[in-house]
Structure 1
Amino acid sequence: MASSPSHSSGFTACFVIFLSFGAFGLALFVYLFLIVGCSARPLYPLPSKAVNDIKQSLQTFRPYNIAHRGSNGELPEETSAAYMRAIKEGADFIETDILSSKDGVLICFHDVTLDNTTDIAKHPEFANRNRTYEVQGSNVTGFFTVDFTIEELKSLRVKQRFKFRDQQYNGKFQIITFEEFISIALDASRVVGIYPEIKNPVFINQHVKWPEGKRFEDKFVEILQKYGYKGSYMSKDWLEKPAFIQSFAPTSLVHISNQTDLPKILLIDDITMPTQDTNQSYWEITSDSYFDYIKQYVVGIGPWKDTVVPVAKHYLQTPTDLVARAHAHNLQVHPYTYRNENQFLHFNFHQDPYDEYAYWINIIGVDGLFTDFTGSLHNYQEQTSFNSSDDSIAAKLLHKIAMLVSSYEKA
């Protein structure tokens, strides 16, 4: 089969570049050509380990691979290691939950309490910090992030949430700040988006106060702006530094709409859970009239996947029309959470996560997937999709060549 003009020109350009390096360049060219020809999966170096002046752009031709709390199926959630692993494995976006310390530093942490995913129980100096607070209408007892300074939080170590996952990394990593999380994405050797959540804003605003009457949401946006995150969905600015802002609280998303045009996602909980700020039911916030209202502020929704396709006795039931109706209102749909373990895979998928990905991408037609196992989703998509421009063989090869040439010049 004849090569397309774009592939031929790309090949010629690569060959000329390497000839300039003599015998070494020619040998390197042949070696690279063989590797790329035999592998469809890009080889992504870890952040901070590669030249960053030329970056591969964000892929936008297929559903987004959203690394839920990093690659937390392999490493403790929301840690630098989990995010670096997710980037290495091909994540399009790294996702995080943003809470606050007592002294107003924004941190990456999912639970309002430290009990389940840190070694707080091993710190007798903090034994008197146990508290009971009301969170989303229920009394919760534990060690809350809002009762600890950032210095104290940094003295803790994170552990794996689920006992059936690898425990060998427990106690090795710190809680990281929102700014440290952003730095991990910006330090990557390709464009990696961020997907932060304004987590429990009602609770945080009750317990943490910032100067000048600012709210949690205001500090959240300030940090994004500090690092140059701006632009509406698919704009030039957005493609350079992609970000989605997510929250279960509609009023938080409306509030920040006056401060940033970054795309926003309204998260949707189980059908039994009302919204934490407006106390609206699931049925209200997924109605056509509400979609007409909220689409002024958001570009999509992030529903729990079992509300999109109900489940009974571990078997999928008839899908709802939620995705079709969201798409009819020009809203994207990014469901959560996809996990490889058998206890999370419904029987229809025969213990095969690739079957689950195929169902949600090809049958349900979602636009992004929150996954605990970034590598498996990336591998599935690499094996089943192809793009003739941005993700072409020539584009991949030229990117690798540029990285190698730059490294060679600096050696």
Structure 2
Amino acid sequence: MLVLAWCAASGGVAVARPLVGGGGGGEAGKTKAPLQTMRAYNIAHRGSNGELPEETAAAYLRAIDEGADFIEADVTATKDGHLVCFHDTTLDDTTDVADHPEFAGRRRTLEVQWANLTGFFITDFTLAELKTLRVKQRYAFRDRSHNGESRIITFDEFIDIAVSAERVVGIDPEMKNPVFVNKQVRWADGKKFEDKFVAALKRRGYGGRYMSPAWRAMPLFIQSFAATSLIYAADLIDSPKVFLIDDVGVRTEDTNQSYDEITSDEYLDYMREYVVGVGPWKDTVVPPTRDNKLAAPTDLVARAHARGMQVHPYTYRNENQFLHFNFRQDPYAEYDYWINDVAVDGLYTDFPASLRRYQEWTATGREG
């Protein structure tokens, strides 16, 4: 069994070391090492957010140093129409907004994805106001020594990080809560969130079908839980898209469809015309039992593969509370199971260094 080495001084958090390098500072015109396409993609979920606060420049640079193939971002919009990288609709859990008395009156309640939510909504803040905030670690059990060091970054700043890397690094941005954003933000030119999202990518030269020379040079997956947004974007850019699938009890934000409806054969046949794959919550692919063991896998991966669709499940995390008992507190055993037994094509991980190490160790074993 592969065993993850824990550092007692870090409070039980895995301490990753740079494995590949190339986090930034690439020279113009320099030939870059290409993206690997021979194994499942290592997708850094919100950057290396197991070690650093999520969706920050530091987390993305760390993920690139640690060997991520793609860096993933949630993209939303500000009150004044700027696109930024931030996961939640509210600022409460991962910023110091509560420590800013000048914003105390911004807290309110809105409907988000069929439920009422109260907090400081990112769509009520201008970009300049957001830049006065500092980002913090979401989970109390992770390293919080970097709280307050980083700011929220724009979508353009996120793209800069990938483009400036010394090797080819893909980006995997999500159109986050597009129905909510389009209700809360209005652009002067009448464009929608999806228009602005795609325009930002095309300005930087992104485009090209999966595995084409253009895609290989600037790899991109566009993801969303909203099928209607992906279909709309398909008319604007030909880059590959991934349809995200939430937990079994969550209905889609845009069409109010159930999990069973959007994973049916009929719906997969429909979506395959617009996307190259699906990104399901991993517990819907291999559901856990009540005692936190693995039940038999569903047939979702097989049915997607039969249609030529990739499967990129989320989210893989090293900590024991996220691991099923079958893996005996070993995140490498989890990677092994999903890559070799379930046969997925990409993995969204909070710890890209761990996935990179697993890939290196197993590649060495095969060669030997």
**Superposed, which structure 2 residues align to 1:243-282 within 5 Å?**
243-282=220-259
Greater helix share, structure number: 1
Q: 2 CA distance for matches of 1:303 and 1:256?
A: 20
- Residue 44 of structure 1: how far off its partner (Å): 1.6
Partner of 1:187: 164
2:180 is aligned with what amino acid? Answer: F
1:330 maps to 2:330:
no
The equivalent position to 2:274 in structure 1, one of 275, 297, 301, is: 297
Distance, in Å, in 2 between the alignment partners of 1:46 and 1:138 is 39
Q: Does 1:356 align with 2:334?
A: yes
Indicate the residue corresponding to 2:121 in structure 1.
144
Match for 1:355: what amino acid?
A: A
Alignment partners' CA distance in 1, 2:161 and 2:26: 12
- Within the candidate set 41, 45, 62, 2:22 is matched to 45
* 1:377 counterpart residue number: 355
Q: Distance in 1 between matches of 2:54 and 2:19?
A: 24
Taking the aligned partners of 1:46 and 1:192, their CA distance within structure 2 comes to 9
2:69 aligned partner: 92
Matched residue SS, 1:315: coil
Q: Report whether the alignment pairs 1:132 with 2:109.
A: yes
Conserved 8 A contact 1:52-1:188: no
Asked whether the 8 Å contact 1:79–1:176 carries over to 2, the reply is: yes
Residue matched to 1:36? none
Deviation at 1:50, TM superposition (A): 6.5
Q: 1:42 offset after TM fit, Å?
A: 6.0
SS at match of 2:320: coil
- The amino acid across from 1:186 in the alignment is V
CA 1:342–1:240 in structure 2 vs 1: closer, same or farther (change >3 Å)?
same
How far apart, CA to CA, are the structure 2 residues paired with 1:242 and 1:191? 8
Q: Tell me whether 341-350 or 45-54 shows the greater mean CA deviation.
A: 45-54
Residues 266-289 of structure 1 show CA distances to partners (whole Å, capped at 9, x for unaligned) of 000001111100011101111111
Structure 2 gap segments, 5+ residues each: 1-17
Q: How many residues align?
A: 349
2:197 corresponds to 1:229: no
SS of 1:66's partner is strand
Please tell me whether residue 366 in structure 1 is matched to residue 344 in structure 2: yes
Q: Deviations over 1:226-264 (max 9, x none)?
A: 000000000000000000000000000000110000000
Q: CA deviation at 1:46?
A: 2.9
Partner of 2:296: 318
Separation (CA, whole Å) in 2 of partners of 1:347 and 1:239: 39
Report the counterpart of residue 400 of structure 1 in structure 2: none
**Structure 2 length as normaliser, TM-score?**
0.93
The aligned residue for residue 339 of structure 1 is: 317
Q: Which moved more, 1:248-257 or 1:43-52?
A: 43-52
Q: Distance in 2 between matches of 1:378 and 1:202?
A: 35
Q: Which amino acid aligns with 1:131?
A: R
> Is 1:69–1:372's contact at 8 Å kept on the other side of the alignment?
yes
Give, in whole Å, the separation in 2 of the partners of 1:46 and 1:69: 15
Shift of 1:131: 1.1
- Aligned partners of 1:42 and 1:53: how far apart in 2? 21
1:84, 1:357 → 2: CA distance?
Answer: 23
CA distance in 2, matches of 1:232, 1:45: 26
Shift of 1:49: 6.6
Taking the aligned partners of 1:274 and 1:122, their CA distance within structure 2 comes to 34
Larger Rg computed on CA atoms? 1
What CA distance in whole angstroms lies between the structure 1 residues aligned with 2:72 and 2:116? 27
Residue type of the partner of 1:375? A
What SS does the corresponding residue of 1:69 show, helix, strand or coil?
coil
